Amino acid sequence: MAFLIDFILHIDAHIANLVQSFGLWTYLILFAVIFIETGAVIMPFLPGDSLLFAAGAIAATPAGLNAGLNHWVFMFVFFFAAVLGDSLNFWIGRTGGYQLIRHPMIGRFIKEEHIREAEGFFEKRGAVAIIIARYMPIVRTFVPFVAGISQFPYSRFLKNSVIAAFTWSLIATGAGYLFGNIPFVKAHFSIIILGIALVTLLPTIIGIIRSAMISRRQKKLSKK
């Protein structure tokens, strides 16, 4: 966990090291991170938004340019990683969702409150939830899973997943490319990355707290 926090806070330095060590292979490495964060139901804690922002920023630096990195390529790499990850997650939910939740080992990583939050979010907003969830860490990992469990039509899911992934990768990577190397941003990069993480996590945290409060209230009413 300490390594993960350090990775998120100093993600610019870590990506710079990747670029220096692996050059164009950085595309594949970051593709894998986003694909796993989106597609593996038990990995919702991997960095998403902050990684896209940092990758966009690195693409605008001399090191990124010398390595042949391009922010447009990054955008499409993240786009395909998100769509493919969403689809994998959907089919995991469709083919074995409940078995995974009840599994003694895997079930430990799939928190019941996260599933409840995603279910409520999906039921309330329907197909639009797929687009909105893309901008919400943790929830974006569980909404495709819940969509698969609920037998939501895959064609509709894929259409919304494509829209969500395209806008997400364009905005987050583009913002990093345009603003990530401004002197003030560079000087306070760790704070800004932490701010991005907190802001994107805020709706999820509020939703989980609200869900817990409603559940507690219902339990009190059932006891009366």
Q: How far apart are CA 182 and CA 53, in angstroms?
A: 13
Residue 124's contacts (CB-CB under 8 Å, 6 or more residues apart) are: none
Task: Provide the pLDDT for residue 42.
Answer: 59
Taking a C-beta distance cutoff of 8 angstroms, is the pair 60, 150 a contact?
no
Residues 6+ apart with CB under 8 A from 184: none
At residue 93, the pLDDT reads 82
Q: How many domains does the chain have?
A: 1
Question: Residue 203 and residue 133: Cα distance in Å, rounded?
Answer: 10
Q: How do residues 78-131 score in pLDDT, each as one tens digit? A: 999 999 999 998 998 888 766 666 666 555 555 666 566 666 666 666 677 788
Instruction: Give pTM, 2 decimals.
Output: 0.74
Ranges under pLDDT 70 in the chain: 1-13, 41-48, 97-126, 186-215, 218-224
State residue 218's pLDDT score: 67
| Domain carrying residue 55 | 2-223
